[in-house]
Amino acid sequence: MKTKILLLMAALLCMTTLRAEKIDRVEPPCWWIGMETDLQLMIHGDRIAGSTVTVDATVKGLSVGKVVATDNPNYLFVEVKVGNRLEPGTYTFNLVTPDGRQFDFDYAFYKRREGSAKRESFGPSDAVYLLMPDRFANGDKHNDTMSETAEKANPKNLGGRHGGDIQGIIDHLDDLVSLGVTTIWPTPLTLDNEKSYSYHGYACADYYRIDPRYGSNELYRYFVERAHDKGLKVIMDMVPNHCGTAHWWMKDLPSATWINYPENLERGGDKLIRTNAAMTTHSDPHAAEVDKESCVKGWFDTTMPDMNLSDPLVRHYLEQMAVWWVEYADLDGLRVDTYPYSDKAGIAAWTKAIRNEYKRLNIVGEVWFGDVASCAYWEGVKQKDGYNSQLPSVMDFPLMFATLSALNDEGTSWEPSMLRIYNSLALDRLYEDPSDILIFIGNHDTARLAHELGGSPAKIKMAYTLLATMRGVPQLYYGDEYGLQSADGTVGHSQERVDMPWGKFTREQIVLRKYVADLFTWRKTSKAVAQGNFIHFRPDAANVYVYFRTVKGECVMTILNGGKKDYVVDWPHFSEITANFAQKGKNVMTGERFRIGDKMVVAPGEAAVLEFK
């Protein structure tokens, strides 16, 4: 009964009532009282440019400000001033066109949740679980195929819709809790209505609507609530850089400057002006303007029109959208796709606007670079050229590349492979706060971890050991805890974004999952890992990497043996750390007790995590 009541209440929330045949859409769908973000309604209707918009003047705390028209007569952007004296409720706005037509629409304003602006977010004490909703779990088979969406379900098509949905995530929340993760990051859940390959969700067709094949806005809101009930946080994946060609406004763009290269709509195919992906041009002091422009304005893909974030109307629309979802669904953070493909000033202003509303909200940007210097440019600190992305966190691709490379070979005696990890972390000085960086060893755009590591359970365990004890915010990718690979062993997005085979795991997969679960469940209890300093020791010819996480009263020592011989812990070598802690310790994974100085052996290709308190 409680579930039904919550869903009914949510269904009534944020429903703009249009009482005019020619007003097609008003966005955002609703708003809240006491927001820092200015409200600007985007109204779409037939020949409404030049209209006057009013609201009952006797209403305290509500008035209409500036009304902006564009070169498209079917749009108006209306500034609405919302004062703190406004009472929650639904209010009627009146629109009168230059030719005398009158239209009314009702718009709802709500009271904010207590403490909404000061909400906490995810951070180093959390472990993030990335999943693809279409492939994770099918909790409601009735929405696999919907009459209103173009692509129909076909589980046999590797690049098609398979049926996973929000209900499936809800059904498996307890599985995620038992895995030891604390935060869920689903890839985009908003409507993607492309005719094919729409399951990934990165070609948005409606920024304010959950894809009906996943569920509804109300169900998404309920999912976040249920996650919170179980101590889990939720991150929303957002894509301000581009929308989809099936977006409702592509048939009638709000303005000529709404998207970059609108001529691409006519070009198509090989004539399409695509991004050159030259993201380094943003920080390159020698970059040609034509290369910069190609990166920022070119389309990411044939079905992904590029949003013009240098246009104030576009940017404010997307700022409101992000704030709306955080407030509506009670979100705990955001992940931003293709961050450096956008206008750099525009995307920084977008991020700053969201952080102005929610000062503690963590926002992590996808900055796909293989080197630390390029990644660090996008972390929110003023760079030498004066740029500040405003991002509190970025994705540590360099560490992922270094880790996979280190685990796949031994290197040489003068340059052991574990040195690649060490050298990547040695550049942490370039980050403002390395503890906030999102670290991972695989995601939805990379090859499966098991594929990268040759299906070796031992190597997978080493990778997860590093992920659980390293500085930063760890992110796991769905199914990698079981060692999932594509059915035929080939790589590529369609091949490796496999369905989670619930109830069909092998004994070996279950054993691997238990290792990961034990590790991350322990991690939640470790103050040293969540808050501690990071000190590492340079790997020598034995190809063993040892590092410590230390905080007052607690220390964690991680040993990764990438060599071919047993490693006997050389306690005196680490005395600058161990001398400050009790002589007794515990092996986290085995429970074995020991004293500093005792003979301890770590076998080749294995890892050990030692805890001192």
Of 453, 425, 415, 404, nearest to 539 by C-alpha is 415
CA distance 319 to 354: 7
Residues in the chain: 613
Contacts of 274 (CB under 8 A, 6+ apart): 298, 299, 300, 301, 302
Residues whose CB falls within 8 Å of the CB of residue 302, separated by 6 or more in sequence, listed in order: 245, 268, 269, 272, 274
Beta strands in 303-353 (DSSP E): 306-307, 333-336
User: Residue type at 386?
Assistant: G
Return the ∠ at Cα 117 (arms to 111 and 123), rounded to 5°: 140
SS (H, E, C) 8-37: HHHHHCCCCEECCCCEEEEECCCEEECCCC
Output the CA–CA distances (angstroms, integers) from residue 429 to 432, 549, 550, in the order listed. Answer: 7, 17, 18
**What does the block give as tokens for 147?**
């009459």
- Beta-ladder partners of 92: 106
DSSP H or E segment with residue 521: helix 507-523
422 — phi, psi (to 5°)?
A: -55, -45
Residues annotated catalytic, as ranges: 337, 366
Pairing of strands 183-186, 128-131: parallel
Cβ-Cβ contacts under 8 Å for 12 (sequence gap 6 or more):
none
**Are the C-beta atoms of 422 and 539 separated by less than 8 Å?**
yes
For tokens 């097609």, what's the residue? 24
Closest CA to 311 of 239, 236, 238, 240: 240
Q: How many CB atoms lie within 10 A of CB 446?
A: 20
- Nearest to 214, CA basis, from 196, 189, 188: 189
Tokens of 67: 């009304």
CB 404 within 8 A of CB 453: yes
